[in-house]
Amino acid sequence: MASVSLITRGLRLLPVAALCLSIGLAQAQNVTDEERLYGGPMLNQQERDQLQQQMREARTMEERQRIQAEHLNHMRQRAEQRGFDPDGI
């Protein structure tokens, strides 16, 4: 009989869990590319698209890490050129 009450209790919590999941997914979808990418506000749309394309085409984890490191260095240089603190972007 204990297993029946556990199942019943679990079924009662199922709608709550589904609601929490849907709220979390909705919030995650509101994040723009500009916010998601390091230094995103300093990139134009073409640069963001190009970086995303490079990451999609990367065949290995090492290649993705190299692209990310190059992007980080480029954004730090751009921040310094524009008078921003590179650690604050």
| The pLDDT of residue 25 is above 70 | no
Residue 44 shares a structural domain with residue 83? yes
Q: Would you say 34 and 40 are in contact if contact means Cβ atoms under 8 Å apart?
A: yes
Better pLDDT: 89 or 77 = 77
Global model pTM greater than 0.75? no
Considering only 25-29, 34-38, 51-55, 62-66, which range has the smallest mean pLDDT? 25-29
Say yes or no to pLDDT of 26 above 60: no
Whether residue 23 is found in the same domain as residue 49: no
Domain count across the chain: 2
DSSP 83: T
CA dihedral 30, 36, 40, 44 (to 10 degrees): -60
So what's the pLDDT on residue 87?
78
Rounded average pLDDT over 56-63: 95
pLDDT of 30 > 60? The answer is no
More confident residue, 27 or 57: 57
Q: Say if residue 12 is in the same domain as residue 54.
A: no
Range of the domain at 77: 35-89
The mean pLDDT value for 37-66 works out to 91
Whether residues 44 and 87 fall in one domain: yes
Residues 53 and 71 in one domain: yes
